């Protein structure tokens, strides 16, 4: 059995069950993912949903969940929850009444440390917060929304992505929470792949999808010739790709298409295209997909070489980790962040579920050290453009990022100026 899913798989599982519930017409007022999925944790051990329904409908709802599809089987069942085994993995659904929806959401969203901190705070104010319900002096207190329970405890609403080690509760009390970035702040995507390398869709299809999302710009950044990817862009094909993008620009209005590249950092620290080729791109991302067996020191040096390179604008997914599958590189992030901030090189929060890298903690550290951050989809198929940006923004929110920290919340002129400054 799979024990930990990456966020993408967990999300798909939660969505699939929600769709089945809707199709089956089960009596729910709301059905929402809670737990790690709601907090955008990169790895999810417990895919959990909260179903809000009137108490008298609970047993009917549990019966419906137990027989949701022919392949679903029941692992456990109580009066207020059911654990199911599905073909995409195990999942639990907790039930709450509308009167308890807020307390139950908070309880089941976690993290455990956050819930403990809230519980302790409740106690100091004469409340008892337990098992997804709030009481005072033995009497039930209605919490139809999370806002209600936070405000009962003299706190502002704390976004799920910040509910981590409990210290956010003290920050909230002092009005110290950030004005977090949201998806609508994103003006464009600076990292995407097409069928010129290992992407599935044409440039045209990707640009259409980006335009449909209301983006002002999309950078097409295929893999360089010797990149550690299943398909790559040969140096000889770069002019052909450029002509295709120029034709696309002439045909499609309302969005700026940047011709970029995701160049690999080679084992010797050089980049996988010569400078005269790199200079022809509108934006250059550099990444390390293959550690060549190097240790922390050499990997850090390889990155530092790329960061100092005047034609490199963004370091993508620096840890090159894969949540649930592969740990990231051991790197001296302090040196990388210092060099990135000093040279005007951005570092990326990559929203592909196979990366989610930098993670929240690293992104927060980078932000504190003054590094410019970009949040990208690293999308390989048009249909995932929005979803992967959502994961990227969720990850950035876990890093306490505000719009002002993120380059691609700004317009195209500022993107071009960012590239030009380093080249000068």
Residues that bind Zn ion (CB under 5 A): 262, 287, 378
Please give the Cα distance from 103 to 96 (Å, whole number).
Answer: 9
Specify the DSSP element, H or E, that contains 285. strand 283-287
- The answer to whether 136 touches 103, Cβ cutoff 8 Å, is no
Asked whether 91 and 13 are in contact (CB, 8 A), the reply is yes
**Burial bucket for residue 360 (CB in 10 Å: 0-12, 13-18, 19+):** buried
- Cβ 378 to Zn ion shortest distance, Å: 4
CB of 193 to Zn ion, least distance (A): 6
Residue whose CB is less far from Zn ion, 168 or 348:
348
Kindly tell me which of 97 and 197 has the beta carbon lying closer to Zn ion.
197
- Helices 7-24 and 385-398 sit at what angle, rounded to 10 degrees? 120
Shortest distance (Å) from residue 223 CB to Zn ion: 7
Whether the bond into 356 is cis, omega within 30 of 0: no
15 vs 195, beta carbon nearer Zn ion = 195
Q: 7 or 227: whose CB is closer to Zn ion?
A: 227
- Taking the complex as a whole, the smallest distance from the CB of residue 319 to Zn ion amounts, in Å, to 11
Q: How far is the CB of 237 from Zn ion (least distance, A)?
A: 17
Instruction: Report the nearest approach of Zn ion to the CB of residue 383 (Å).
Output: 17
Nearer to Zn ion, 80 or 287 (CB): 287
In whole angstroms, the minimum distance from the beta carbon of 387 to Zn ion comes to 16
Q: How many residues does the chain have?
A: 424
Structure tokens at 295: 């240790």
The two structure tokens encoding residue 223:
């893999």
- Rounded to 10°, the helix 203-212/385-398 angle is 60
Q: Least separation, in Å, of the C-beta of 10 and Zn ion? A: 22
Smallest distance from the beta carbon of 287 to Zn ion, in angstroms?
Answer: 4
> Nearer to Zn ion by C-beta: 21 or 356?
356
| Closer residue to Zn ion, CB minimum distance, 201 or 378 | 378
Q: Which is nearer to Zn ion, 111 or 388 (CB)?
A: 388
How far is the C-alpha of 397 from the C-alpha of 218, rounded, in Å?
Answer: 22
List % helix, strand, coil for the chain (3-state, nearest 5).
40, 20, 40
**Rounded-to-integer distance, Cα 408 and Cα 322, Å:** 24
Please state, in angstroms and as integers, the Cα–Cα distance from residue 344 to each residue in 190, 312, 364, 372, following that order. Answer: 16, 10, 17, 7
Q: Which is nearer to Zn ion, 161 or 262 (CB)?
A: 262
* Residues 6 or more apart whose Cβ sits within 8 Å of residue 338: 369
Lookup: tokens for 149: 């329970």
Question: CB of 185 within 8 A of CB of 409?
Answer: yes
């Amino acid at each position: 059995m799979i024990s930990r899913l990456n966020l993408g798989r967990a999300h798909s599982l939660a969505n699939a069950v929600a769709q089945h519930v809707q199709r089956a017409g089960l009596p729910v007022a709301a059905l929402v993912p809670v737990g790690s999925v709601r907090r955008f944790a990169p790895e999810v051990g417990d895919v959990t949903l909260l179903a809000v329904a009137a108490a008298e409908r609970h047993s009917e709802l549990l019966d419906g969940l137990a027989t949701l599809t022919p392949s679903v089987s029941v692992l456990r069942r109580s009066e207020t929850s059911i654990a199911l085994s599905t073909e995409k993995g195990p999942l639990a659904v907790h039930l709450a009444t509308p009167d308890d929806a807020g307390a139950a959401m908070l309880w089941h969203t976690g993290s455990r440390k956050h819930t403990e901190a809230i519980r302790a705070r409740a106690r100091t104010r004469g409340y008892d917060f337990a098992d997804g319900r709030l009481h005072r002096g033995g009497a039930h207190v209605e919490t139809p929304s999370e806002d209600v329970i936070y405000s009962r405890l003299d706190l502002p609403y704390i976004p799920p992505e910040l509910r981590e080690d409990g210290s956010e509760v003290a920050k909230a009390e002092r009005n110290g929470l950030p004005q977090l970035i949201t998806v609508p702040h994103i003006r464009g995507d600076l990292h995407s792949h097409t069928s010129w390398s290992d992407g599935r869709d044409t440039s045209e299809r990707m640009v259409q999808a980006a335009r449909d999302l209301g983006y002002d710009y999309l950078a097409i950044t295929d893999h360089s010739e010797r990149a550690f990817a299943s398909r790559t862009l040969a140096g000889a094909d770069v002019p052909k790709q450029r002509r295709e993008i120029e034709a696309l620009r002439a045909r499609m209005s309302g969005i700026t298409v940047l011709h970029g590249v995701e160049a690999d950092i080679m084992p010797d620290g050089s980049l996988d295209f010569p400078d005269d080729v790199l200079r022809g791109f509108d934006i250059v991302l550099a990444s390390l997909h293959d550690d060549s067996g190097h240790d922390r020191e050499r990997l850090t040096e390889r990155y530092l070489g790329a960061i100092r390179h005047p034609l490199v604008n963004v370091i993508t997914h620096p840890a090159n980790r894969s949540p649930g599958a592969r740990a990231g590189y051991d790197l001296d992030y302090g040196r990388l962040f210092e060099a990135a901030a000093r040279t005007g090189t951005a570092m990326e929060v990559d929203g592909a579920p196979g990366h989610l890298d930098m993670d929240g903690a690293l992104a927060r550290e980078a932000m504190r050290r003054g590094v410019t951050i970009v949040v990208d989809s690293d999308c390989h198929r048009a249909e995932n453009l929005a979803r992967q940006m959502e994961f990227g923004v969720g990850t950035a929110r876990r890093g306490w990022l505000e719009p002002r920290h993120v380059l691609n919340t700004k317009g195209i002129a500022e993107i071009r100026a960012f590239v030009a400054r380093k080249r000068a």
